[in-house]
């Protein structure tokens, strides 16, 4: 799984549970270019090329284009759209888990020129809401062990480290599996 997340403006204050503070999570600052808050909506086929370009710009091991096509009907495949197109996305779905679905945040990224505006936090908040509507009791994700910004964001949303998967990524880096309950 891939994650590129900017540190939201409210991070670094320790102990802030952003999942319980929709005002703070929903804030997106205006970028120096004067752009406004992007709209977050379900992804459609016409978004896929821009999503794929963000994926390629964000990760050394990008998902193939076809992987995104397979998630078009997932309620947690959302895009953030501004005047200049898709500026971020999140892919989240559910998997069977002993009779009750488990939410899985699979991929999230923000276009490099729009990072640091809180777009990633807004996307994650909306994806978690979509998963909650699917009757999940817990949500999991994997994150690179060295991605401190993403780990901090996820902790702010109530995720905690469950276990480590050694050498999960192709380059040999470990993944932290993080969980959050509803």
pLDDT in tens, 66-109: 999 999 999 999 999 999 999 999 999 999 888 889 999 999 99
Task: Give the pLDDT confidence score for residue 10 in this predicted structure.
Answer: 35
Burial of 75: CB neighbours in 10 Å, binned 0-12, 13-18, 19+: middle
Residue numbers in the chain where pLDDT is lower than 70: 1-35
Q: Which of 89, 99, 181 has the alpha carbon at shortest distance from 126?
A: 89
Q: What is the pLDDT of residue 100?
A: 86
pLDDT the model gives residue 123: 97
103 beta partners: 94, 139
The pLDDT value recorded for residue 35 is: 53
State both tokens at 42: 């379900």
- CB contact set of 121 (below 8 Å; sequence gap of 6+): 5, 8, 18, 25, 153, 156
pTM of the model: 0.80
In the prediction, which pLDDT does 182 show? 86
pLDDT at 71: 97
Sign of CA dihedral 27, 33, 34, 40: negative
Task: State the DSSP H helix or E strand holding residue 128, giving kind and residue range, or none if neither.
Answer: helix 119-132
């Amino acid at each position: 799984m891939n994650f590129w997340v900017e540190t939201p403006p409210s991070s670094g204050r320790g102990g802030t549970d952003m999942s319980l503070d929709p005002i703070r999570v929903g804030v997106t600052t205006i970028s120096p270019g004067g752009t406004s808050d992007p709209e977050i909506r379900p992804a459609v086929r016409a978004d896929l090329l821009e999503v794929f370009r963000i994926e390629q710009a964000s990760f050394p091991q990008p998902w193939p284009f076809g992987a995104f096509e397979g998630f078009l009907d997932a309620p947690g495949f959302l895009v953030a759209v501004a005047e200049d197109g898709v500026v971020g996305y999140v892919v989240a779905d559910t998997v069977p888990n002993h009779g009750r679905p488990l939410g899985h945040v699979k991929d999230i990224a923000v276009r490099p020129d729009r990072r640091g505006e809180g777009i990633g936090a807004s996307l994650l908040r909306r994806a978690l809401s979509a998963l909650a509507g699917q009757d999940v009791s817990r949500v999991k994700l994997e994150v690179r062990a060295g991605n401190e910004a993403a780990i901090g964001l996820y902790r702010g949303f109530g995720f905690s480290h469950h276990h480590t998967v050694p050498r999960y990524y192709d380059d040999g880096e470990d993944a932290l599996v993080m969980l959050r309950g509803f």
